[in-house]
């Protein structure tokens, strides 16, 4: 099984390599002028060079800070709200229609309002990340908690566990797989949103690095922040998969 | 009056609580703006009053419709490409192994951020905006079509091939309908992403569209217009979601109802 999945992993490199080769071929044959499309080698070299550049790393650090702050706040809000919404009738009755209305709203459209009330700094960007990352976590938690086998809760209650105790000892662990799935989606969304927000106000962060490159027409520089955010997303995804294996040992892997 | 609002079982009509939620949110906004009276934040009432001027203005209305046209075309193209791709991935392990890593690498890249690069090649017009929307919408639809196709009952496929159905026919007549509920989950995520990419692409290529009105108004400090446009775009998101629910009910009313408030937007 593991040998098979390892060879499958190797197969997956083929299209990525093919794409890079095609890109290089388009540049080498002169089909694409280098001013419009730099060669992938030049982009990779610049990326490696930037990884040692403290200024670039500072921008990446700011992006990471906003991403984590927003994601953690969304987690701290979304999980309790989802659990309460699924287990408490009253909370559910208020929460459901609110989520029904707010979830499909494209949050990026709210960003101008956030800028106007919170300013151009970290606060407005973090709140935007919270607004976007909250709903995947909240919905996944709610769905998971709503599907917990009622017999488990009854048995725990019959065995003398208090109401709060069942919430923490039965419902929360049973909901954990859903929470992790929601977190995974929320992390991807957070990557996308924090980058876009930094492009809009463009004072610092990876999104700003892209906008600066566009203004100065440095095509090689444009690709570097995009690679960086992709690497960040992949790393976070990997870290979450690791946490999942730890927390849910014996549970079937999701992919 | 109350009889019309209540269903036979004494519960509220299903559409009503979200309406109350909208009104409640507007009320909170109104009270917030009134009591704090922070500079630059218009209250809900004056923003709603601003709506007819925007929607009545021929130019801005045309801009908004133009956005919607692009979004619809981009969504349709993405659907036509992603569903077959996802279904193939679900039915062929080799194909899935081939494509999956590429998709994983591209998932966290904000597609709207590709706009400046794509603009270099395709210009500021429709083509680059359409391409960005197609890229943004495709990934969740591919992913969910893949998940849906993977979960198809093998026995149904065996019976079909035993009855002499060819490969493509099996894909179209068995795998597609069986995966449809899951594909629609991806579509709903896709609609939200289409809106996001639409607005951001128009913000970057300031030429036309709802995103252009919104961010140009922000730059020119026309705060009433900013808030009114936020209201318009939010309403678009909610209306598209409601419309989608109707389509889903008509297409896959047979499938098990999911325990959800609304599917997860990614």
| Nearest-angstrom CA–CA distance, A160 and A165 | 9
Residue A128 lies in a domain: yes
pLDDT digits (tens, 9 = 90+) for B173-193: 888 888 888 888 888 888 888
For the segment B214-222, the average pLDDT, to the nearest whole number, is 85
Residue A50 lies in a domain: yes
A163-A165-A167 Cα angle (round to 5)? 75
pLDDT of residue B248: 85
Residue A254 lies in a domain: no
* Inter-chain touch A191–B21, beta carbons under 8 Å: no
- Per-domain residue ranges for chain B? 42-252
Q: To the nearest whole angstrom, how far is the Cα of A101 from the nearest Cα of chain B?
A: 6
Residue A255 lies in a domain: no
Do residues A237 and A212 both lie within one domain?
Answer: yes
Structural domain harbouring A3: 1-34
Rg for chain A (alpha carbons), in Å?
22
Two tokens, residue A47 = 């990326």
Do residues A17 and A42 both lie within one domain?
Answer: no
| Preferred mutation among B109, B139, B199 to probe A, highest tally of A CBs within 10 A | B109
CB A148 within 8 A of CB A174: yes
Q: Enumerate the residues of chain B whose CB falls inside 8 A of the CB of residue A210.
A: 113, 116
Do residues A25 and A129 both lie within one domain?
Answer: no
Helix (H, G, I), strand (E, B) or coil at A35: coil
Of all residues in chain A, the percent with pLDDT exceeding 90 is 25
pLDDT digits (tens, 9 = 90+) for B102-139: 888 888 788 888 888 888 888 877 888 899 999 989 98
Do residues A57 and A166 both lie within one domain?
Answer: yes
More confident of the two residues B111 and B254: B111
CB B261 within 8 A of CB A96: yes
Do residues A30 and A94 both lie within one domain?
Answer: no
Do residues A43 and A65 both lie within one domain?
Answer: yes
Of all residues in chain B, the percent with pLDDT exceeding 90 is 12
pLDDT of residue B258: 52
| In the predicted structure, residue A130 carries a pLDDT above the cut 90 | yes
Q: How confident is the model at residue B261 (pLDDT cuts 50, 70, 90)?
A: very low
Judged on CB neighbours under 10 Å (0-12, 13-18, 19+), B48 is middle
Do residues A173 and A52 both lie within one domain?
Answer: yes
Residue A151 lies in a domain: yes
Chain-wide mean pLDDT for chain B? Answer: 81
Do residues A72 and A139 both lie within one domain?
Answer: yes
B213: which residues sit within 8 A by CB, 6+ positions away?
B54, B60, B63, B64, B225, B229
Q: How confident is the model at residue B6 (pLDDT cuts 50, 70, 90)?
A: very low
pLDDT of residue B155: 85
Find the Cα–Cα–Cα–Cα dihedral A116, A122, A128, A133, rounded to 10°: -170
Q: Helix A172-201 and helix A206-215: axis angle, to 10°?
A: 30
| Nearest-angstrom CA–CA distance, A72 and A117 | 22
B106 at interface of A, judged by CB pairs closer than 8 A: yes
Say how many residues make up chain A: 255
Q: Where are the alpha helices (DSSP H) in A103-218?
A: 111-118, 122-146, 150-158, 163-166, 172-201, 206-215
Do residues A146 and A24 both lie within one domain?
Answer: no
| Nearest-angstrom CA–CA distance, A244 and A184 | 10
Residue A87 lies in a domain: yes
For the segment A131-135, the average pLDDT, to the nearest whole number, is 92
Residue A253 lies in a domain: no
* Inter-chain touch B108–A188, beta carbons under 8 Å: yes
Do residues A47 and A29 both lie within one domain?
Answer: no
| Nearest-angstrom CA–CA distance, A95 and A145 | 14
CB A150 within 8 A of CB A86: no
| In the predicted structure, residue A157 carries a pLDDT above the cut 90 | no
A223: which residues sit within 8 A by CB, 6+ positions away?
A38, A43, A46, A47, B117
Residue B158: half-sphere exposure toward Cβ, Cα within 13 Å: 3
Q: To the nearest whole angstrom, how far is the Cα of A164 from the nearest Cα of chain B?
A: 23
| Count of the separate structural domains present in chain A | 2
Do residues A22 and A89 both lie within one domain?
Answer: no
Do residues A10 and A75 both lie within one domain?
Answer: no
Looking at beta carbons, which pairs linking A53-57 to residues 24 or more positions away fall under 8 Å?
A56/A209, A56/A224
CATH code given to domain B42-252: 1.10.3720.10
């Amino acid at each position: 099984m593991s040998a098979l999945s390892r060879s499958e992993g190797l197969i997956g490199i083929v299209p990525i390599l093919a794409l890079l080769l095609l890109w290089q071929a388009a540049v080498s044959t002169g089909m694409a002028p280098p001013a419009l499309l730099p060669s992938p080698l030049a982009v990779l070299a610049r990326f490696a060079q930037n990884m040692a550049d403290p200024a670039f790393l500072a921008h990446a650090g700011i992006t990471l800070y906003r991403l984590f702050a927003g994601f953690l706040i969304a987690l701290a809000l979304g999980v309790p709200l989802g659990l309460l919404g699924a287990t408490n009738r009253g909370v559910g009755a208020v929460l459901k229609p609110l989520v029904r209305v707010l979830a499909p709203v494209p949050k990026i459209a709210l960003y101008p309002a956030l800028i106007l009330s919170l300013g151009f700094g970290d606060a407005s960007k973090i709140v935007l990340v919270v607004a976007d990352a909250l709903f995947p976590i909240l919905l996944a938690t709610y769905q998971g908690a709503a599907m917990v086998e009622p017999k488990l809760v009854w048995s725990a209650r019959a065995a003398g566990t208090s109401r709060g105790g069942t919430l923490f000892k039965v419902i929360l662990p049973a909901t954990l797989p859903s929470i992790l799935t929601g977190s995974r989606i929320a992390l991807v969304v957070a990557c996308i949103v924090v980058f876009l927000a930094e492009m809009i106000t463009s004072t610092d962060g990876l999104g700003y690095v892209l906008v600066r490159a566009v203004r100065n027409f440095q095509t090689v520089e444009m690709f570097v922040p995009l690679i960086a955010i992709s690497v960040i997303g992949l790393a976070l995804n990997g870290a979450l998969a690791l946490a999942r294996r730890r927390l849910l040992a014996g549970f079937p892997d999701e992919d | 009056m109350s009889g019309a609002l209540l269903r036979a079982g004494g519960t509220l009509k299903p559409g009503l609580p979200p309406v109350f939620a909208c009104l409640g949110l507007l009320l909170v906004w109104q009270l917030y703006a009134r009591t704090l009276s922070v500079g630059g934040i218009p209250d809900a009432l004056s923003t709603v009053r601003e709506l007819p001027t925007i929607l009545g203005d021929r130019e801005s209305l045309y801009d908004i419709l133009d956005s919607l046209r692009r979004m619809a075309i981009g969504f349709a193209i993405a659907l036509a490409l992603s569903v077959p791709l996802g279904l193939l991935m679900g039915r062929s392990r080799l194909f899935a192994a081939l494509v999956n890593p590429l998709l994983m690498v591209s998932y966290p890249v904000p597609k709207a951020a590709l706009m400046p690069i794509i603009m270099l090649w395709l210009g500021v017009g429709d083509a680059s905006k359409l391409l960005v929307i197609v890229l943004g919408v495709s990934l969740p639809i591919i992913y969910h079509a893949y998940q849906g196709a993977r979960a198809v009952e093998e026995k149904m496929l065996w019976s079909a091939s035993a009855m002499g159905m060819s490969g493509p026919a099996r894909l179209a007549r068995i795998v597609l309908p069986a995966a449809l509920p899951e594909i629609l989950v991806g579509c709903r995520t896709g609609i939200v992403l289409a809106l996001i990419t639409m607005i951001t692409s128009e913000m970057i290529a300031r030429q036309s569209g709802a995103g252009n009105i919104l961010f140009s108004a922000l730059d020119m400090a026309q705060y009433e217009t900013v808030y009114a446009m936020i209201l318009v775009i939010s309403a678009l998101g909610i209306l598209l979601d409601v419309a989608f629910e109707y389509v889903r009910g008509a297409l896959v009313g047979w499938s098990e109802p999911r325990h959800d408030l609304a599917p997860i937007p990614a």
